[in-house]
Chains A and B, each alone.
Chain A
Amino acid sequence: MIFANGDCHITYQQQEPLSPARREDLEQSFQDGTHIYLLDMVATGNTLTFYYSPIKVMEEHNTIEPGDIVIEEVREFLTGMEFSI
């Protein structure tokens, strides 16, 4: 499940726990990768939460609905990390 967690975060959540090694791998990959709007990522046992600046997306895309654009970027990251979503 991917959802807008408030106005500045997107969260991916799964029921099965992410192992510590997998989380470390995800955090390292996020840190090493280049991103358009995603500024930070926090991993917990079941979630990955991505921080972004909605105003930046709104102004660059001339929209007041930035959520879908950022969710698409999150999907691309997750797909690249072999999540089936």
Chain B
Amino acid sequence: MSLIIQESGLLTILQTLDREDSAKGNEYNGACDRLAHQLANQLVGNNPDQPTIEMTLRPGVIKFTEPTIAAFSGAEFKAKSGNRNIYVNRIYLFDRGDELVFGESTRGNRVYLAVAGGIKVEGSNILSSGDEVVMCRNYTAQHDELFNMLKQQHEVNWGVDTYALVEVYLSDTYHLVKRPDIPDAVYAAIEAEEYTVRNEKYRVALYLEGDAVEVPDTGIEHPGIKGGVYIADGQPVLALNDFNAYTTAPHVGTIPSYHMHKLVQKRPGSKIRFKCVEADDAHANLYAHHLWKKSLFKAIDYKLSKELIKEKM
């Protein structure tokens, strides 16, 4: 038994948290929004690094073939299963035959579906209509208790609300870690501009447009790393997970990992501003983000444990 991808949507892909080597044809270059990937797993009691289904812009329709605990995180898509409204960052039990159908998103463009006990695919990780996603059923004692708790109401009356995630997702300002060989005038020009997201080559790059930035072309072959900001024809190109291994486009800096969650949720037409920072400032912010994430995940664990104890009493 498995999950069936009834409709594949625009780009539905089984994705790991980090980049992983895999068989030819499969690209496990990591979840674009690592926070959403981990959050969805945390909600269903999985290890945060379990694979999830990443769906972009127009998520697919998923059919469940056995009782399944699942949660989705990331973009705020409206979703339904039959007459039930299914909300982002909440835990649900789906029965055999239930379908999860996504509608419009009020914020963001990527959603991550985690399934209790884990999931995997036997073929390509790029999922098409009719494909099956295998349920691993690596259930823990906590999963068993969760099943027991959800069998009456099929959902919990709590979740991670938008306000808890405001700090991470809602600002349009992105840090850009400076390089030592780029003139300050370039950074001043970048900071002064408000850019518009022109389009995304899915999982590869975000293309921005604004006033042209002049950067001397040194002919250096730069590495293509996630978050790298390259200037092509005077406009910034922001590298995502599947970006080229290298590029000769001038590199002006790199967006730190703690701002990549909100970057990959940007849709065409969204606005972006940059604040250019030193690496030490980025590391201080990264540590603050790390502590915030730890406390959020602990709060989820605590809430889950409390609910399960309440159920037993």
Residues of B within 8 A of A (CB): 177, 179-181, 218, 220-223, 225, 227-228, 245-246, 253-258, 279-280, 282-284, 286-287, 290
Contacts and interface: CB of A to CB of B under 8 A. Distances in A.
A45 B287 CA distance: 33
A15 B258 CA distance: 31
B277 to A, nearest CB: 10
B58 to A, nearest CB: 31
B interface: dominant SS: mixed
Contacts, number: 82
Among B179, B246, B279, max chain A CB count under 10 A is at B279
Q: Range of interface residues on chain A?
A: 20 to 34
A1 B180 CA distance: 9
Interface of A: 1, 3-9, 11, 13, 15, 17, 42, 44-47, 49, 54-55, 58, 64-67
A24 B182 CA distance: 29
A3 B251 CA distance: 13
Among B218, B287, B290, max chain A CB count under 10 A is at B287
B245 A44 contact: yes
A46 B220 contact: yes
A67 B278 CA distance: 11
Contact of B257 (A8, A17, A49): A8
A47 B221 CA distance: 7
Contacts of A44: 221-223, 245-246
A6 B283 contact: no
Given A7-B279, A15-B220, A64-B287, A45 B246 contact: yes
Given A5-B177, A11-B223, A44-B221, 15 more contacts: A1-B180, A3-B181, A5-B179, A5-B225, A5-B228, A6-B227, A6-B279, A7-B254, A7-B257, A15-B218, A44-B246, A46-B221, A47-B220, A58-B287, A66-B283
A4 B279 contact: yes
Contacts of A17: 221
Given A8-B257, A65-B280, A45 B221 contact: yes
Contacts of A42: 223, 225, 245
Nearest to A4: B279
B221 A7 contact: no
Nearest to B285: A7
Nearest to B277: A7
A8 B286 CA distance: 10
The 5 closest A-B pairs by CB, nearest first: A6-B254, A4-B279, A45-B221, A7-B256, A44-B246
A45 B220 CA distance: 8
Contact of B179 (A3, A7, A8): A3
B132 to A, nearest CB: 33
A66 B290 CA distance: 14
Contact of A13 (B220, B227, B284, B287): B220
Contacts of B256: 6-8
Contact of B283 (A1, A5, A45, A64): A64
Among A3, A5, A47, max chain B CB count under 10 A is at A5
A5 B254 contact: yes
Nearest to B225: A9
Contacts of B286: 7, 54-55
Contacts of B222: 44, 46-47
A6 B180 CA distance: 12
Nearest to A71: B279
